[in-house]
Structure 1
Amino acid sequence: MSNKIGLKGRFFRGLKIGILVVPFLGLAACWSEQVAMPPDAPGVSRSEEYSFGSATQAEDWQATRKVLGQLEGRFGEKSMRILARNLASTTDPQTIKAYYAERLIHQAGWAEMPVSTFADKAWAFAFVSPNGKQVLAVAALDASESAGGIVPLNILTNLDEDKGSKG
């Protein structure tokens, strides 16, 4: 008889623990949700077509390709996307970085990841998710490469959604 009582006691203790643990697992699942693509930063705009000549395009692709190569090595070639944007040449690159840092580091717990453009006329930065599976990087030419007050800027990411604001 005491064996049956012991089994029932263990069962109900396990049930109590399960009742306490399940809500925490639900919260943990919510915390690990993937961050959506942040809206475009101030000074960043979209264009229907590429707004630059072939010389600028070559420099832009060289800088972007170097960053893309670093990211593909870590996150996989097939998962990365390039979102082409225009950047007002008067916009300070630190403003762009601070904008994404606020949304990714401060609000979602991401961390900065070192990247380099290996180019004299470009700059880049990247942020990686806490689980190390998502990335958002920005690569752009310096303002000295401006054509009509804008420079090319590329967002390199493996985030599923592109919810950037049209600008």
Structure 2
Amino acid sequence: MFAFPSIVGLALMLLSSITSDRMITKGASPRVLRVVVPSVGVLISGVLLFLLPSISTPMVCVLILSVGYGFAAMVFPLLNAAIAEICPPRQTAGTLGVFLAIMAIGGLVAPYATGAIVDAAATPAEGYATAFQVLGLVASVCAVLALIFANPARDRTRLRPHAVLTA
């Protein structure tokens, strides 16, 4: 069960990174590649995870979970590239370190939150269904907020007033 989502996640991480790098060198918009693509990926992931409890066929559940996980996982290298693109060179390593530390907090909070949701439910199945829906809803809301508010060119100009954003 864990292998399929991981394989899809790895494939989408590699594919999105390679495609994004090629498109950036050809003049594609950094906002599209560093904000829109990952945000849409997380939105797709969120919607799939939210809908997961309504699927009753086990193979379809595995497929939906794998694709949902994959689209969420593809965000990590794209966000690292966005940070490296925005930050002044002297602050990039520290900023990436803080970003990774913040991401690691999810590894501490998620199991506890999932356990609390499962424990509060009438049955474990209902608890896990609710946990997937909460995760899907939070991911979807965050993706929409990123689409609305994230702008690498604006942020780079604020952080590096004399730098020019390529493309």
TM-based fold match above 0.5: no
Larger CA Rg, structure 1 vs 2:
1
Shorter-chain TM-score bucket reads: under 0.3
TM superposition score normalised by structure 2: 0.26
User: Does 1 or 2 have the higher relative contact order (CA < 8 Å, sep 6+)?
Assistant: 2
Name the one with the larger helix percent.
Answer: 2
Q: TM-score if structure 1 supplies the norm length?
A: 0.26
Greater fraction of residues in strand: 1
